[in-house]
Amino acid sequence: MDSTLIVAGDIGGTKTYIASFEPSAQHFEPVTERRYETRSYPSAGTLLKAFVDETHTNPKRVVMGVPGPVRQLPVRAVNLPWLIDPGEISSALGGTEVHLLNDLQATSYGTLALEPSDLSPLNTGTEDKEGNIAVIAAGTGLGEGGLCWAQNSYASIASEGGHSTFGPNSPLEIDLWHFLYERYGHVSWERIISGPGLVSIYDFLRERDPQRESAELREELELGDRSDSISRAGLAGSCELATAALDLFAYLYGRETGNLALKLMSSGGVFVGGGIAPKILAKLRDGRFMEGFLDKGRMGEPLAAIPVHVILNDKTALLGAAYWGTQL
């Protein structure tokens, strides 16, 4: 078994990607790759052990992107009932060197390995080759992070900005805040810009005007994935309420993305990742997202110069973990 390979992973609340990479290769093409249902395994160590056994890999180093702040070890995963301990992973693999990255740090590094075909532009802008980069990703939760240019290379910026407080900016948004406050107390951006957040927006609008809900969607919502059903109905225009919910979701997604771009002054570009954006790409491209992004008063003009891209490659965090593994 080859002991020069780097094993990289992207642990998500639903699925986990793991792959091995040759560190000296010019491009980040995996040697072997697997997808796993995360909750089918009791720990990260057992999952990694399954991968190396299945693929007959003896890694030199393991780098995992994990959903949670990597400050103290072990890491308590967000949206997942795991304590992710590099020592436990190392023991399961016979003493292999193990490193953890926040999942948005991994995604941020992954943007450096993407091809043009991996991206869909929302705003062309003017790229600053040495400018900071912002990354935001809505899925099960909301991740935020980025890269800063320092000493001729990029360094990642760890963040849990998705948990920062939502700031309403219109009477409708104030009512939305009250609705969510009654449910959760603290209303973070993640309560709105995420799969569960889209459902909350829909529930809020339905409470205001239940007649806008179609009978077909009402029945479908009782059976399956509510977020997915609302997204599909909103994109198809088959339910007025779902369309309104998706419009508000896209606008607020753009607004928080603009907030992040301002905080990082991300003249190097903004990358919108996560599982939701590619699924609702048509909605993000219809102008609502960029309307929210640019809704910054006198700061709208400098934001208009920033390139904004949707990431289409769902392996970006995996590529970023591999990229970082080659830099150690």
* CATH label of the domain that carries residue 13: 3.30.420.40
Is 187's pLDDT higher than 90? yes
Domain span at 239: 119-311
Domain count across the chain = 2
Are 263 and 320 within one domain? no
Residue 1 falls inside a structural domain: no
Are 163 and 182 within one domain? yes
Residue 58 falls inside a structural domain: yes
Residue 140 falls inside a structural domain: yes
CATH of the domain at 200: 3.40.367.20
Residue 254 falls inside a structural domain: yes
* Phi and psi angles of residue 100, each rounded to the nearest 5 degrees, phi first: -115, 140
Considering only residues 292 and 158, tell me which one the structure prediction assigns the higher pLDDT.
292
Per-residue model confidence as pLDDT tens digits over 57-111: 999 999 999 988 888 889 998 778 899 999 999 999 999 999 999 889 999 999 9
Residue 100 falls inside a structural domain: yes
Are 100 and 128 within one domain? no
* Phi and psi angles of residue 76, each rounded to the nearest 5 degrees, phi first: -85, 110
Residue 19's nearest CA partner among 11, 28, 8, 4 is 8
Are 323 and 215 within one domain? no
**SS3 of residue 290 by DSSP:** helix
Distance CA 139, CA 314 (A): 11
Residue 241 falls inside a structural domain: yes
Are 170 and 200 within one domain? yes
Residue with tokens 């360094």: 155
Considering only residues 187 and 28, tell me which one the structure prediction assigns the higher pLDDT.
187
Is 20 in contact with 57 (CB distance < 8 Å)? Answer: yes
Amino acid code (one letter) for 127: E
68: left (phi over 0), alpha (psi -120 to 50) or beta: left
Whole-prediction pTM: 0.90
Are 198 and 306 within one domain? yes
Are 296 and 229 within one domain? yes
To the nearest whole percent, how much of the chain has pLDDT over 90? Answer: 84
Q: How far is CA 105 from the centre of its chain?
A: 10
Place 34 in a pLDDT band, splitting at 50, 70 and 90: very high
Residue 301 falls inside a structural domain: yes
In this structure, the number of other CB atoms found within 10 A of the CB of residue 247 comes to: 16
Q: Identify the sign of the CA torsion 244, 250, 256, 258.
A: negative
Are 102 and 200 within one domain? no
User: Region 49-56: what's the mean pLDDT?
Assistant: 96
To the nearest whole percent, how much of the chain has pLDDT over 70? Answer: 98
Are 99 and 129 within one domain? no
Residue 71 falls inside a structural domain: yes
Are 225 and 303 within one domain? yes
Are 193 and 294 within one domain? yes
Is 317's pLDDT higher than 80? yes
Instruction: Determine the pLDDT at residue 1.
Output: 54
Instruction: Determine the pLDDT at residue 220.
Output: 94
Are 252 and 129 within one domain? yes
Is 25's pLDDT higher than 80? no
Give the side-chain half-sphere CA count within 13 A for 78. 18
Is 301's pLDDT higher than 80? yes
